[in-house]
Amino acid sequence: MEFSVNHPVLFLIAGIVVLAVLAQSFFFLRKAWRHGKEIGMPMDKLKRIAISTAVFTVAPALAIVISVISLSKKLGIPLPWMRLSVVGAITYETPAAANALSAMGLEWAQITSLTATQYVTVAAVMTMGIMVGIWLVPVVGKKLIGGMINLEKRDKKWGEIFSASLFLGMISAFLGYVFDDFTDIFHGDWKGLIPPLVMLVSACMMGVCALAMKKLKWRWMNDYALPISLLVGMISAIPITAWLG
């Protein structure tokens, strides 16, 4: 069989992996849904969670499709399709593939085709380089979650504050990240202002949604406030970039 990065057999193998991921997602969805009903959660509430999440997911998922397209120029479609449907993210997969190629004396930017050996080596590095979370969660997950539940039992209020602190710690890191290129403006490059302005637009949109819920009694807005602010923020990036970029 002659190798090519888009050989139909590769689509078949990647498809099997993607199917396994889908099966796991459906398994946990069904399990959680059934338990939600058992503990008395109304069907309406469960549906709201699912629909709101599905709507919110569309824009970030399209960004992942762009990553698949971008990687497919070098690695073909099946490998990026599989990698970005599982653990991977573009921020990891590109350097991992580039490192593997560079270790074989090749340069990422110059690649036009790969041999089967090079492809297998790249796939192995991409797979094993980021596998920690998948096996570490089964090892430590139960203890970590158990510790959190015990914390809540011992002191409910501190348990709630603890959860809020975890979320705020994560959010604070990403708010800082938005200002990563901010100092460029002191060198006359105004592009560093684009991410903070987009974030500001998105935050203001969230405020508008909250006002609409409160003043206009648009309760449905609660389910879609995050997708709306995300989308408006993203759209605002187009004129803001045209202005400052």
Partner 1 sequence: MKKQLSYIDSVHREGRIWNLSMVVILLLFPVAVGLLFNAGIDWRGFALGMLSTAPMYWAVGVIETFTYVPMLGAGGSYLAFVTGNITNLKAPAALNALELVGADVKTEEGEVVSTIAIAVSSIVTTLIIVLGVVLITPLTPLLNSPVLAPAFDQILPALFGGLGVVYIARNWKIAVAPVLLMLILFIAIPGLGSYVGILVPVGVLVALGVSRILYRKGRL
Subset of residues 192 to 221 that bind partner 1, contact rule: CB under 8 A: 194-196, 198-203, 205-207
In the complex with partner 1, the residue whose CB is nearer, 112 or 239, is: 239
In the chain the first and final C-alpha atoms are separated, in Å, by 48
Q: What are 126's two structure tokens?
A: 């991409």
- Other CB atoms within 10 Å distance of the CB of residue 63: 10
75 binds partner 1 (CB under 8 A): no
CB of 59 to partner 1, least distance (A): 7
Contact set for partner 1, span 16-35 (CB under 8 A)? 16-18, 20-22, 24-29, 31-33, 35
Place of tokens 């990698």: 83
110, 169, 216, 219: which one binds partner 1 (CB under 8 A): 169
Q: Taking CB under 8 A as the rule, does residue 133 contact partner 1?
A: yes
Site for partner 1 in 39-58 (CB under 8 A): 39, 41, 45-46, 48-50, 52-54, 56-58
Q: Does the protein bind partner 1 through residue 188 (CB under 8 A)?
A: no
Tell which one of 74, 75, 76, 85 touches partner 1 (CB under 8 A). Answer: 85
3-class state of residue 42 by DSSP:
coil
Residues within window 89-108 making contact with partner 1, judged by CB under 8 A:
89, 92, 95-96, 99-104
Q: Provide the minimum distance between the beta carbon of 217 and partner 1 in the complex, in angstroms, as a whole number.
A: 17
How many CA atoms does the CB half-sphere of 12 hold within 13 Å?
3
Query: What six digits make up the tokens of 205?
Result: 């949109």
The CA radius of gyration of the chain, in Å to the nearest whole number, is 22
Contacts of 60 (CB under 8 A, 6+ apart): 230
- CA-wise closest residue to 199 among 224, 222, 177: 177
